Amino acid sequence: MQRGSTTIARVNWRTVRRRILWIGASVLALYVVFLTGMFIVMCQPPDRFGRIMTYVPMPAMLIVPFEAMWNVARGGNVRVGDLAPEFTLATVDRKSQVQLSAFRGKQPVVLVFGSYT
């Protein structure tokens, strides 16, 4: 149709709906791939996780259900009443190492997990 010098185009709503669905499905697929990648990163050892996360922009973390994913990725198998897993740490002066099992049955040990940064 033409009125004067202006052309009025008819909108094909079927095509518009298909494009919107295709774009929505594409965005959803990219989001699932991103979340899968983030979950795989969360399953890495702490030092590797930290190195990788330095490259992830913080605004990207706004779209990640971080706490829920972290709890699943780092859940572990230790239950209340279980013995703590064995580990070895360097002393403060870095001259020797200490094993957790060295204290078992001798004195109480408090394990504090967290970040002080």
Domain ranges of the chain: 2-79
Residue 86 neighbours by CB under 8 Å, 6+ apart:
99, 100, 101
Tell me the two tokens of residue 75.
Answer: 């859940």
Q: Give the model's pLDDT for residue 30.
A: 96
Q: Give the model's pLDDT for residue 27.
A: 97
- Alpha-carbon span 27 to 38, nearest angstrom: 16
Q: Give the model's pLDDT for residue 11.
A: 80
pLDDT along the chain (117 residues), means of 10: 61 91 97 95 90 90 89 83 85 91 88 71
Q: Give the model's pLDDT for residue 81.
A: 84
Q: Give the model's pLDDT for residue 116.
A: 66
pTM, to two decimals: 0.59
Query: DSSP class of residue 46?
Result: H
The answer to whether residues 100 and 84 touch, using CB atoms and an 8 Å cutoff, is yes
The answer to whether residues 79 and 85 touch, using CB atoms and an 8 Å cutoff, is no
